[in-house]
């Protein structure tokens, strides 16, 4: 372990809380707060579009709640989705990903500051290997890449510590820190933004950590929806009778092709995709099958093997967008 810092150029600096050792290399998502009856609020707005005045959410039926969420996926007039708000805390995500995350114009973010939060100890060990060299690979090329990666992280740690100990302010010394420095960020967004981001970020076009983030978001929503008091929500949040709504919302966090029935990345500058051709055959431009059936074998032509799309192909394969 390296020594503690001996100088601080700014009295506002404080020691950053390290990522817990058992969570290193992982992304942890927590749902801190949410609109209690999200689909009821959305349905109340949608019913007014049809001339039905709703004055209390108790007047909304569960069937109306379910149908309005389906309707929102069939129209560009999906503004009612903005009444459902979510507050997530995400820990262990890298700054290279949060640089992308904060591009969302319809969200609020609060991120751990490296201007004041000074990492101490062996924080280079918190920085995960990228997917291409992580996992069980044991080739000499992979081992060499891991060694070079770890060497670079340790060099950055030592340079950062030396600069701080020379009296350089943390807001300047942070310039030598790696893009993949783990961080914590609060994300406050509405359902319209959440679905739009899921459409882009669970697609193969996005980096693999994005799929991990949305898997964590889906898990956090499902945890919120499970009956009974939970460990994650000790204040009886899990006992919410409307918990099924969060389960339903979690199931909607899919790539844009699953949400619309066709690929949304067809420009010349978009990357390749290993499932795009099958989306065209199975989706709205071909057989018109709903995306929740795409995992079932579909007989394309007599004499040819049936085709299907399995979720792991886009959710778990970090190379799915590489030619």
- pLDDT band for position 304 (cuts 50, 70, 90): confident
Cα-Cα-Cα-Cα torsion 76, 81, 86, 91, nearest 10 degrees, comes to -10
- pLDDT tens digits, residue range 263-288? 999 999 999 899 999 999 999 999 99
Q: Above pLDDT 90, what percent of the chain?
A: 69
Q: What pLDDT does residue 99 have?
A: 94
- The pLDDT of residue 25 is 84
pLDDT digits (tens, 9 = 90+) for 165-190: 999 999 999 999 999 999 999 999 99
Sign of CA dihedral 285, 289, 295, 301: negative
Q: Assess whether pLDDT exceeds 60 at residue 303.
A: yes
Spell out the domains of the chain, with CATH numbers in brackets. Answer: 1-35+84-253 (3.30.1360.170), 261-323 (no CATH)
Residue-averaged pLDDT of the chain: 89
Distance CA 130, CA 208 (A): 9
Residues contacting residue 239 through CB under 8 Å, at least 6 positions apart: 227, 228, 229
**Cα angle 131-134-140, degrees, rounded to a multiple of 5:** 120
Q: What is the pLDDT of residues 82-110, one digit of tens each?
A: 999 999 999 999 999 999 999 988 899 99
Q: Is the pTM of this model over 0.75?
A: yes
Q: Provide the annotated active-site residues.
A: 201
pLDDT single digits (tens) 232-269: 444 444 456 788 999 999 999 999 999 999 999 999 99
Quick one: DSSP state of residue 305? -
Q: Look-up: residue for tokens 């924080």?
A: 123
For 94-108, 127-141, 208-222, which range has the lowest pLDDT when averaged over its residues? 127-141
pLDDT of 234 reads 46
Residue 24 has pLDDT above 70, yes or no: yes
């Amino acid at each position: 372990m390296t020594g503690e810092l001996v100088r601080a150029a700014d009295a506002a600096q404080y020691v950053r809380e390290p990522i817990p050792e058992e969570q290193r290399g992982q992304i942890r998502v927590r749902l801190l707060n949410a609109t209690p009856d999200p689909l009821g609020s959305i349905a109340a707005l949608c019913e007014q579009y049809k001339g039905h005045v709703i004055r209390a959410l108790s007047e909304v039926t569960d069937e109306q709640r379910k149908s309005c969420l389906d309707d929102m996926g069939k129209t560009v007039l999906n503004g009612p989705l903005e009444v459902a708000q979510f507050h997530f805390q995400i820990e262990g995500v890298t700054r290279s990903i949060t640089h992308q995350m904060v591009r969302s114009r319809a969200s609020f973010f609060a991120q751990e500051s490296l201007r004041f939060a000074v990492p101490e100890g062996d924080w280079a060990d918190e920085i995960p290997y990228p997917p291409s060299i992580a996992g069980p690979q044991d080739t000499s090329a992979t081992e060499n890449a891991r060694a070079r990666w770890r060497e670079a992280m340790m060099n950055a740690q030592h340079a950062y510590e030396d600069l701080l100990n020379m009296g350089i302010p943390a807001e300047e010394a942070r310039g030598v820190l790696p893009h993949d420095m783990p961080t914590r960020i609060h994300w406050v967004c509405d359902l319209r933004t959440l679905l739009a981001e899921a459409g882009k970020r669970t697609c193969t076009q996005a980096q693999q950590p994005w799929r991990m983030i949305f898997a964590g978001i889906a898990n956090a929503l499902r945890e919120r929806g499970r009956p009974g008091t939970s460990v994650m929500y000790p204040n009886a949040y899990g006992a919410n009778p409307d918990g099924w709504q969060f389960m339903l919302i979690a199931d909607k966090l899919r790539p844009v092709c699953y949400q619309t029935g066709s690929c949304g990345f067809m420009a010349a500058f978009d990357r390749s995709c290993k499932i795009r051709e099958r989306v065209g055959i199975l989706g709205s431009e071909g057989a018109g099958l709903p995306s929740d059936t795409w995992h079932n074998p579909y007989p394309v032509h007599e004499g040819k093997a049936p085709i299907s799309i399995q979720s792991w192909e886009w959710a778990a394969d970090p190379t799915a967008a590489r030619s």
